[in-house]
Amino acid sequence: MEVKLNNKAVVLLSGGVDSATTLAIAKSEGYEVYAMSFRYGQRHDVELNAAQQVANHLGVNQHIIMDINLRAIGGSALTDDIDVPKAGEKKDDTEESGIPVTYVPARNTIFLSFALGWAEVLNANHIFIGVNAIDYSGYPDCRPEFIEAFEMMANLATKAGVEGESLQIHTPLIYLTKAQIIQTGIDLGVDYSITHSCYDPAPDGSACGECDSCMLRKKGFAEAGVPDPTIYQGK
């Protein structure tokens, strides 16, 4: 039985380079975009401000911010009082497993679950998430085998699954380098000056320039041969 899918898509939007590019790709492929962001107990709101600017800049049908407090379960330098490591520093967790302390437990699983709920309400057949298996920093929930397993589960979890319709999870960045991601976004007209990557920004919102996320971002712009529009602290 051939299933006719609609073109409605929920896009997970954090306000960083990857999710902004993912949103631009979804738009360029003709999807009707519903953007979803999360206030999950991050140390700072800079990220959500960036998400709102990106949604306005690229244009979406609707943008919602879900409030979920992941601090209650703890476990990460991004929501707890653990120091964010700077480049070259290794924290105990990293040494043992290759997974950095900035990993938030089950974060992508939780985000995709909410996207699934919204997709069901909207009757959307598509979810976009900007995960990346190349420059992925060692997070287990960025691997392609995880995404495939989530899609399989999602199609059993919902009314859509029961009614024989289908939900597809799209990961257009999964095999791209950071430089390729940035080049793709530039080609699609993304203004990266409004995106935010830093794990540990200053009170004025400027990036630290030294955390893993800043290092990856700098390297990406350098390799893409594109000027980095980010404002780094003290620059």
Residues found near its own copies in the complex (CB under 8 A) = 64, 66-70, 72-75, 97-99, 103-110, 112-114, 116-118, 120-121, 140-141, 143, 145-146, 149-150, 152-154, 156-159, 161-163
Choice between 161 and 205, CB closer to its own copies: 161
Residue 6 C-beta: closest distance to its own copies, Å: 17
Separation between Cα atoms, residue 137 and residue 84, nearest integer Å: 14
Q: How far is CA 190 from CA 18, 19, 229, in A?
A: 11, 11, 12
Q: How far is the CB of 64 from its own copies (least distance, A)?
A: 6
What own/partner pairs with CB < 8 Å and gap ≥ 24 does 185-190 have?
A: 185/17, 185/20, 185/21, 185/24, 186/224, 186/226, 188/21, 188/24, 188/25, 188/27, 188/28, 189/24, 190/20, 190/21, 190/24, 190/57, 190/58
Residue with Cβ nearer its own copies (3 or 235): 3
Cβ neighbors of 230 (< 8 A, separation 6 or more) are 192, 193, 197, 207, 214, 217, 218, 221
- Report the nearest approach of its own copies to the CB of residue 97 (Å): 6
Q: Cα separation of 23 and 9, whole Å?
A: 10
Residue 38, phi then psi, degrees to nearest 5: -135, 135
Minimum CB distance to its own copies smaller for 12 or for 24 = 12
Residue 224 C-beta: closest distance to its own copies, Å: 30
Residue nearer to its own copies on the CB measure, 13 or 207: 13
Nearer to its own copies, 150 or 221 (CB): 150
Closest separation between CB of residue 96 and its own copies, Å?
Answer: 8
**Smaller CB separation from its own copies, 141 or 200:** 141
Least CB distance from residue 125 to its own copies, whole Å? 14
